[in-house]
Amino acid sequence: MENKKLFLSVSESDLKRIDDLRTELGMNRSEYIRYLLSGQKKVIPYSMKQRHLVEVLSQVDLHLKAICLKEGIEPKDVLYIQESLKDIKKEITDGQTCGQSDHKWKGGEDRAKK
Protein backbone atom coordinates (compact mmCIF):
# COMPACT_ATOMS: atom_id res chain seq x y z
CA MET A 1 0.00 0.00 0.00
CA GLU A 2 1.44 3.32 -1.06
CA ASN A 3 1.06 6.20 1.39
CA LYS A 4 -0.29 9.45 0.02
CA LYS A 5 0.57 12.86 1.43
CA LEU A 6 -2.20 14.97 2.86
CA PHE A 7 -1.90 18.68 3.42
CA LEU A 8 -4.31 20.02 6.01
CA SER A 9 -4.91 23.55 7.19
CA VAL A 10 -6.12 24.01 10.76
CA SER A 11 -6.30 26.91 13.17
CA GLU A 12 -3.54 27.49 15.69
CA SER A 13 -5.82 26.34 18.53
CA ASP A 14 -6.78 23.14 16.68
CA LEU A 15 -3.13 22.40 15.97
CA LYS A 16 -2.29 22.89 19.64
CA ARG A 17 -5.12 20.53 20.61
CA ILE A 18 -3.93 17.91 18.11
CA ASP A 19 -0.37 18.22 19.40
CA ASP A 20 -1.48 17.99 23.04
CA LEU A 21 -3.58 14.89 22.38
CA ARG A 22 -1.01 13.13 20.22
CA THR A 23 1.73 13.84 22.77
CA GLU A 24 -0.44 12.33 25.48
CA LEU A 25 -0.67 9.17 23.38
CA GLY A 26 3.02 9.19 22.48
CA MET A 27 2.31 9.56 18.74
CA ASN A 28 3.47 11.86 15.99
CA ARG A 29 0.90 13.85 13.99
CA SER A 30 0.56 11.29 11.20
CA GLU A 31 0.10 8.40 13.63
CA TYR A 32 -2.47 10.37 15.60
CA ILE A 33 -4.56 11.26 12.53
CA ARG A 34 -4.46 7.62 11.34
CA TYR A 35 -5.49 6.59 14.86
CA LEU A 36 -8.47 8.97 14.75
CA LEU A 37 -9.49 7.75 11.31
CA SER A 38 -9.33 4.12 12.41
CA GLY A 39 -12.04 4.73 15.00
CA GLN A 40 -10.12 2.80 17.64
CA LYS A 41 -10.95 3.43 21.24
CA LYS A 42 -7.55 2.52 22.56
CA VAL A 43 -7.19 2.64 26.31
CA ILE A 44 -4.10 4.61 27.08
CA PRO A 45 -2.19 3.30 30.10
CA TYR A 46 -1.67 5.76 32.92
CA SER A 47 2.09 5.50 32.51
CA MET A 48 1.79 6.82 28.94
CA LYS A 49 -0.50 9.68 29.92
CA GLN A 50 1.78 10.77 32.73
CA ARG A 51 5.12 9.64 31.35
CA HIS A 52 7.13 12.59 32.69
CA LEU A 53 5.61 12.33 36.15
CA VAL A 54 6.34 8.60 36.25
CA GLU A 55 9.95 9.22 35.16
CA VAL A 56 10.48 11.82 37.90
CA LEU A 57 8.86 9.58 40.52
CA SER A 58 11.11 6.70 39.42
CA GLN A 59 14.20 8.87 39.90
CA VAL A 60 13.06 9.98 43.36
CA ASP A 61 12.30 6.36 44.23
CA LEU A 62 15.76 5.25 43.07
CA HIS A 63 17.57 7.95 45.06
CA LEU A 64 15.59 7.27 48.22
CA LYS A 65 16.33 3.54 47.93
CA ALA A 66 20.04 4.35 47.66
CA ILE A 67 19.78 6.46 50.81
CA CYS A 68 18.05 3.60 52.63
CA LEU A 69 20.94 1.25 51.83
CA LYS A 70 23.57 3.50 53.40
CA GLU A 71 25.12 2.56 56.72
CA GLY A 72 23.88 4.45 59.73
CA ILE A 73 20.30 4.87 58.54
CA GLU A 74 17.92 3.91 61.31
CA PRO A 75 15.50 1.06 60.47
CA LYS A 76 12.57 3.25 61.50
CA ASP A 77 13.71 5.90 58.99
CA VAL A 78 13.97 3.28 56.24
CA LEU A 79 10.46 2.10 57.03
CA TYR A 80 9.17 5.69 57.05
CA ILE A 81 10.71 6.34 53.61
CA GLN A 82 9.26 3.12 52.21
CA GLU A 83 5.78 3.83 53.51
CA SER A 84 5.93 7.44 52.30
CA LEU A 85 6.91 6.27 48.81
CA LYS A 86 4.01 3.82 48.77
CA ASP A 87 1.62 6.59 49.80
CA ILE A 88 2.96 8.97 47.14
CA LYS A 89 2.73 6.32 44.41
CA LYS A 90 -0.79 5.37 45.45
CA GLU A 91 -1.87 9.02 45.48
CA ILE A 92 -0.35 9.76 42.08
CA THR A 93 -1.46 6.60 40.31
CA ASP A 94 -4.83 6.33 42.05
CA GLY A 95 -4.26 2.60 42.49
CA GLN A 96 -3.25 1.99 38.85
CA THR A 97 0.03 0.27 38.17
CA CYS A 98 2.79 1.94 36.20
CA GLY A 99 4.94 -1.09 35.55
CA GLN A 100 6.49 -4.06 37.23
CA SER A 101 6.86 -3.98 40.97
CA ASP A 102 10.39 -3.65 42.20
CA HIS A 103 11.42 -6.90 43.86
CA LYS A 104 14.79 -5.51 44.98
CA TRP A 105 12.99 -3.11 47.33
CA LYS A 106 11.77 -6.07 49.39
CA GLY A 107 15.32 -6.47 50.68
CA GLY A 108 15.06 -2.98 52.13
CA GLU A 109 11.83 -3.96 53.88
CA ASP A 110 13.60 -6.90 55.52
CA ARG A 111 16.35 -4.56 56.65
CA ALA A 112 13.83 -2.17 58.18
CA LYS A 113 12.29 -4.98 60.24
CA LYS A 114 15.61 -5.86 61.91
Domain residue ranges of the chain, discontinuous segments joined by +: 12-44, 47-113
pTM over 0.75: no
Percentage with pLDDT > 70 across the chain = 72
How does DSSP assign 16-85, residue by residue?
HHHHHHHHHHT--HHHHHHHHHHT--PPPPHHHHTHHHHHHHHHHHHHHHHHHTSTT--HHHHHHHHHHH
pLDDT tens for 3-37 read 888 888 999 999 999 999 888 888 889 888 888 88
Rg of the chain over Cα atoms, rounded to whole angstroms, equals: 21
In 3D space, the residue among 55, 60, 58, 45 whose CA is nearest the CA of residue 94 turns out to be 45
Confidence tier at 94 by pLDDT (50, 70, 90): low
